[in-house]
């Protein structure tokens, strides 16, 4: 899969990080705590000059059907990274 390397997707500015988080948040208000953590990570990556966002791992411990997978796919879509 990574035979030819991987393409890094950057978040160009803290403003762009805010836009991504706002878009994800508007779709899933009840996941606000997770979205806030991702926003903090994206902003920290921008300030550090990272070539791509460094996102801490998240563990969701919730019942089925609340939108955990939907949230992750929405985030991937807004970050423009491949997802299934």
Tokens 């606000």, located at residue: 32
Residue 5 lies in a domain: no
> pTM to 2 decimals?
0.85
Q: Let me know if residue 8 belongs to a domain.
A: no
Is residue 18 in a domain?
yes
**Predicted pLDDT at 3:** 74
Domain count, the chain: 1
Q: Is residue 74 part of a domain?
A: yes
In a domain, 9, yes or no: no
Q: What is the pLDDT of residue 1?
A: 54
pLDDT digit string (tens) for 35-57? 999 999 999 999 999 999 999 99
Range of the domain at 75: 14-79
Structure tokens, 40: 């903090």
From CA 73, how far away is CA 52, in angstroms rounded? Answer: 18
């Amino acid at each position: 899969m990574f035979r030819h390397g991987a393409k890094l997707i950057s978040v160009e500015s803290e403003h762009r990080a805010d836009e991504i988080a706002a878009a994800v948040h508007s779709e899933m208000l009840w996941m606000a705590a997770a979205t806030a953590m991702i926003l903090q990570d994206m902003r920290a990556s921008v300030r550090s000059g990272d070539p791509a966002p460094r996102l801490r791992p998240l563990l969701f411990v919730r019942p089925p059907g609340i939108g955990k997978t939907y949230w992750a796919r929405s985030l991937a879509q807004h970050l423009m990274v491949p997802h299934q």
